[in-house]
Amino acid sequence: MTAAARKAAMATTFDPVAVRCDFPILARQVHGKPLVYLDSAASAQKPKAVLDAMTAAFETEYANVHRGAYLLSERATVNYEAAREKVRAFVNAKEPAEIVFTKGATEAINLVAATWGRANLKPGDEIVLTELEHHSNIVPWQLVRDQTGATIRVVKIENDGGVPTTAFAQVIGPRTKIVALAHVSNVLGTILPVEQVVEMAHAVGAKVLVDGCQGIVHESVDVQSLGCDFYAFSGHKLYGPNAIGVLWARRELLEAMPPYQGGGEMISTVTFERSTWAEVPAKFEAGTPPIVPAIGLGAAIDYLSQFDRAAVAAHERDLLSHAMHRLSEVPGIKLVGTAQRKAAVQSFVLDGAHPHDLATVLDRSGVCVRAGHHCAQPLMAALGHTATARASFGIYNTTADVDALIAALHKAREILL
Ligand code: PMP
């Protein structure tokens, strides 16, 4: 089939079995068993299109960007900036200048906390977080809280892992200056009511930062219709490489924020007395940027764009409901995170077994799941668990993967209990 014919076919149907062939690693075995990769929420596998784009960038058009007066540097610059445009289109930002490349979501959130936070927060101001945040959307705010005298307030989750708008309404108020929330929980899969939170926050003049690490993978993201002020995500969970992330913010906000790091690329002029800053987004991209990782992320976006996102979402919904149904049939398994609006991420515990032991035993059957606190210790405390096991699904997973997990769990019960 030609590339064009394949694209046309993919636009209306979605065939995860065909998709698997695009991911070379899925053909390998672990411990002599076929690989069943259920840890995409930690990091997704990469399609060959991404690997090829990065190899080609290194092999044929590699040089530093923005500075060279020679062809190779010009080509590398064009490719790097083309990746920025691909990200812009993917999240429907107004202009490429609103896309800042970082090394990951963690750096993007730290950037906002350190620059916008230090410039705008003072004693008495409140930073609103939710109980289910990843540490990278908690600790940067603690750092800026300690520097500014602001206070952190926390929105509680419900028993099923949902976070209703009423819970936000109890905490957002006149002192709120920023609400920082996950789009989708990396532990529970809960999809948070971002649009409603944005309305509530903007009504009191507060900004909203969305940690989109998981949201960008499972939801179609349009930053303009979400209405938030900042959206952060990592490339490596979106089938791209690691060492690349994105901060989106509206131009006016980026322009009003002081720089994050100083160095080359982010300046306009430098004297020993003072320096002036480059235009955005360069103002926030000090030093040699992650050139080839950005090109790889652009290739991941091209790869994903061949699929109808609604068809992918429907596939992921089917996988999740199959997984929830089959997991709850295994004696002693308790699902953790059953909110109504959920993405394809499922935590669980097995009575009488530690999640770490469970994950180690599952690995012997070729099944990769995450176990631990998932960088969300406050959430674990709220749930009354020290750890959970977590299966998370990507576009390449099938119901056969879920069935392999269930078979491995039955075997694990025999070994561990
Ligand atoms: N937020 C969420 C919801 C995440 O799942 C992760 C990664 N597990 C992060 C933030 C941090 O992403 P990174 O380590 O790629 O910066």
Active site residue 228: no
Indicate yes or no: pTM above 0.85. Answer: yes
First-to-final CA distance of the chain: 50
Contact 234 CB / ligand 1 (< 6 Å)? yes
**What local confidence, expressed as pLDDT, does residue 365 receive?**
98
- Nearest CA owner, ligand 1 atom 6: 213
pLDDT digit string, tens, across residues 154-176: 999 999 999 999 999 999 999 99
Residue 405 alpha carbon to ligand 1 centre in Å: 24
pLDDT digit string, tens, across residues 316-339: 999 999 999 999 999 999 999 999
Residue 107 alpha carbon to ligand 1 centre in Å: 10
Contact 392 CB / ligand 1 (< 6 Å)? no
pLDDT digit string, tens, across residues 36-72: 999 999 999 999 999 999 999 999 999 999 978 999 9
Residue 178 has pLDDT above 80, yes or no: yes
Residue 81 has pLDDT above 60, yes or no: yes
User: Which residue intervals of 31-122 are DSSP H helices?
Assistant: 48-60, 71-91, 105-112, 118-120
**What local confidence, expressed as pLDDT, does residue 68 receive?**
80
- Neighbouring CB atoms inside 10 A of 140's CB total 23
Q: Tokens 């790869």: give the residue.
A: 303
Contact 211 CB / ligand 1 (< 6 Å)? yes
Calculate ∠ Cα 150-104-76, nearest 5°. Answer: 135
Model confidence at 9, in pLDDT bands (50, 70, 90)?
low
Residue 25 has pLDDT above 60, yes or no: yes
Domains and CATH numbers, the chain: 3-30+308-416 (3.90.1150.10), 53-305 (3.40.640.10)
The amino acid present at 187, given as its one-letter code, is V
Q: Are 205 and 356 in contact (CB under 8 A)?
A: no
Going by their DSSP bridges, the two strands 388-392 and 99-102 should be labelled as unpaired
**What local confidence, expressed as pLDDT, does residue 12 receive?**
59
Pocket test for ligand 1, best of 136, 209, 377 (most atoms within 8 A of CB): 136
Residue 3 has pLDDT above 90, yes or no: no
pLDDT digit string, tens, across residues 246-303: 999 999 999 999 999 999 999 999 999 999 999 999 999 999 999 999 999 999 999 9
